Amino acid sequence: MRFSVSSSDFLKKTTIASAVIPNNPIMPILEDFLLDLSGDVLKLTVSDLETTIHTSLEVNGQEDGKIAVRGKILSDTLKAIPDQPVEFIKDPESNILTIITSNGEYKLACDDFEEFPQIPETEISHSITIPLKTMKKGIENTIFATSTDEMRQAMMGVFIKVENDRLTFVATDAHKLVKYTFLDIQSETEGSMIIPKKSLSMVQNALSNGESEVMLNYNNTHAFVEIGETEIACRLIDAVFPNYDGVIPTDNPNILTIDRVSLIQSLRRISIYANKTTNQIVLKINGDNIEIKAQDLDYSNEARETLECQYSGDEIEVAYNARFLIEMLSVLDTEEVMLEMSTPNRAALLLPSSNNIEEDLLMLVMPVMVKT
């Protein structure tokens, strides 16, 4: 194998692929990049057996070949050198890949590429083309709300529902829930899937402004996301996602409207004084004022602030986990947000002050018990 390529172009591809490499691989070969050169096209594959990334780039190819090399070392090398043409040479008589730059030479041991796991071919049953900005927003708006509880496998990913005229992303960890719906899409088939958080994080990394559309292919067991020259294939979570529509409250007479940035900044200040286990803050809303307070009885810490707001409804005092509220408010991008509530012990809805006609975003947050 012999080829030359821009170090920055190669680095972009290895950065995307590196996210797949597991921290504690069950086989050493899973730490490797599989490089396959044919003509002027270099194909790069990396897999952890659950998620696989295939990507390719144009190079100046001189001698075809296939090798497996440690991905982290190769990626770190490309990061450390300035942008320049770099030559890669694998002598067929040795097990060494030589990397030649304008002022240095590096030798990297290769592994047996035949040990790299064979990725089985999977038949695709459904396909949908999604605008890149929609895929990006769908992931950004929901991925933070996934669960880390391995006893709740269904919640460890984002539920994606494809309908003829809409695309819905949903994530929940039982404390918060986010539902993002894109309303301007056409699909000949309908279906649903739960994509693991790790796989979606890789999709998020691979999204770039250079592409306008994403192709989502899927069947009952796998999803395949095509972004330009990159395909991310992953095994779907085999579980039943919770009935999210059933937990979204519909009767919320108490409606708070407030400046989003002011609320985030206040929550961040007040939460410094909250109990570090519960992160509990209390909102007391009456008229055009909201009082935000926190108390840590273990250390006699206490803080409170008052903000101006718009409010319609009865006086209410309700407690939430400040970290959850901050996470959700940070995802929203409108100037003002609305908090729709009913009673202190029922879920509330956090909404942008306005949704455009192409999308709808809804966030649900559960209250915590007020400590007295």
231 in any annotated domain: yes
- 269-287 pLDDT tens trace: 999 999 999 999 999 999 8
Of 195, 217, 240, which residue constitutes the final position of a domain?
A: 240
- 192-207 pLDDT tens trace: 999 999 999 999 999 8
Name the residue among 371, 245, 357 with its Cα closest to residue 298: 371
- Whether pLDDT at 215 is above 60: yes
- 70-106 pLDDT tens trace: 999 999 999 999 999 999 999 888 899 999 999 999 9
111 in any annotated domain: yes
The reply to whether 100 and 136 lie within a common domain is: no
Residue 211: pLDDT band with limits 50, 70, 90: low
Domain CATH for 198: 3.10.150.10
Cα atoms found within 13 Å of the Cα of residue 62, Cβ hemisphere only = 9
The reply to whether 81 and 140 lie within a common domain is: no
The reply to whether 292 and 331 lie within a common domain is: yes
- 327-359 pLDDT tens trace: 999 999 999 999 999 999 999 999 998 878 889
| Residue 45 C-alpha from the chain's centroid | 21
The reply to whether 53 and 144 lie within a common domain is: no
Q: How many domains are contained in the chain?
A: 3
- Residue 240 to residue 192: CA distance in whole angstroms: 11
Q: Where does 220-321 have alpha helices with state H?
A: 260-271
- Whether pLDDT at 242 is above 80: yes
The reply to whether 8 and 95 lie within a common domain is: yes
Residue 212: pLDDT band with limits 50, 70, 90: confident
The reply to whether 148 and 222 lie within a common domain is: yes
164 in any annotated domain: yes
Largest CA distance in the chain: 81
Question: Which pLDDT belongs to residue 268?
Answer: 97
Of 115, 145, 172, which residue constitutes the final position of a domain?
A: 115
Question: Which pLDDT belongs to residue 23?
Answer: 87
Of 216, 240, 264, which residue constitutes the final position of a domain?
A: 240
- Whether pLDDT at 153 is above 60: yes
The reply to whether 211 and 252 lie within a common domain is: no
120 in any annotated domain: no
74 in any annotated domain: yes
- Whether pLDDT at 266 is above 90: yes
The reply to whether 191 and 256 lie within a common domain is: no
Determine if residue 228 is left, alpha or beta; phi over 0 gives left, psi from -120 to 50 gives alpha, anything else beta.
Answer: left
CB 138 within 8 A of CB 131: no
371 in any annotated domain: no
Q: What is the mean pLDDT of residues 124-144?
A: 94
Question: What is the domain range of residue 303?
Answer: 248-365
370 in any annotated domain: no
The reply to whether 17 and 86 lie within a common domain is: yes
The reply to whether 212 and 146 lie within a common domain is: yes
The reply to whether 222 and 136 lie within a common domain is: yes
- 41-53 pLDDT tens trace: 999 999 999 999 9
What's the N-to-C CA distance of the chain in angstroms? 71
What are the strands, taking DSSP E only, across 199-298?
213-218, 222-227, 230-235, 254-259, 280-286, 289-296
The reply to whether 26 and 103 lie within a common domain is: yes
121 in any annotated domain: no
